Amino acid sequence: MRYHIIRGVGSALLYLHEEWEQVVLHRDVKASNVLLDADLNGRLEDFGLAKFHDHGSTPHTTNVVGTIGYLAPEITRTGKSTTCSDVFSFGTFMLEVACGRKPVESERPPEEVVLVEWVFECWKRGAILGTVDPRLDGNSVVEEMELILKLGLLCTHRTPSTFVSSYLNQESNAI
């Protein structure tokens, strides 16, 4: 079910970035901005911070907006949002869904405070599946959870939305 929800949100981002008449930068992709419809499809909502620009042009965003924990590092440095910023936020959302925890949890041990960094360190040690939400109690498809976790890491390390979509639709198996 989590994979199904993530696919819905990933498809929405691909549409906003590549397929609509203009590029739409959502600028606040996060779990609380994902709603579920009657069929439990993930729907991206709350476009209050969204910016539009023509395909092939450079977006002109100058204010740092979004939610701490989901902000791509370059936004805090430059104030500029791009489709890559949305993809970073989507990757953080994916990790949040897979791990069952928020992007920043200050009460955790220092090495676990920032979700993206913690999952990355676990991946480097070959222990990425140890980050899966313990509430799933082994009731998840291991291959799907591993895909979600690895794809979440790819998104937080500069992956274009078209690449993300192809993996969610299982058009490639190179992860």
CATH of residue 67's domain is 1.10.510.10
The pLDDT confidence band at residue 138, using thresholds 50, 70 and 90, is confident
Dihedral-angle region of residue 174 (phi above 0 means left; psi in -120 to 50 means alpha; beta otherwise): alpha
Instruction: Supply the DSSP symbol for 31.
Output: G
Per the structure block, which two tokens stand in for 87? Answer: 């993809």
Kindly tell me if the per-residue pLDDT of 159 is higher than 80: no
pLDDT of residue 158: 66
Kindly tell me if the per-residue pLDDT of 127 is higher than 70: yes
**Using one digit for the tens of pLDDT, what is the confidence trace for 22-66?**
999 999 999 999 999 999 999 999 998 999 888 988 776 667 888
Q: Which of 54, 44, 41, 38 is nearest to 12 (CA)?
A: 44
Question: Is 174 part of a structural domain of the chain?
Answer: no
CA dihedral sign, ordered 163, 169, 170, 171: negative
Q: Under a CB-based contact definition with an 8 Å cutoff, are residues 168 and 151 in contact?
A: yes
Q: Under a CB-based contact definition with an 8 Å cutoff, are residues 22 and 53 in contact?
A: yes
The pLDDT confidence band at residue 87, using thresholds 50, 70 and 90, is very high
- Check residues 12 and 64 and name the one with the higher pLDDT: 12
Question: Is 175 part of a structural domain of the chain?
Answer: no
Kindly tell me if the per-residue pLDDT of 15 is higher than 70: yes
> Chain-wide mean pLDDT for the chain?
88
Which amino acid is it at 129? L
DSSP reduced 3-state for 79 = coil
- Pairing mode, if any, of strands 51-53 and 42-44? unpaired
In the chain, the number of structural domains is: 1
Kindly tell me if the per-residue pLDDT of 9 is higher than 90: yes
What domain range includes position 8?
2-168
Question: Is 115 part of a structural domain of the chain?
Answer: yes
On whether the pTM is more than 0.95, the answer is no
Q: How many CB atoms lie within 10 A of CB 145?
A: 21
Per the structure block, which two tokens stand in for 116? Answer: 């993206």
Active site residue 37: no
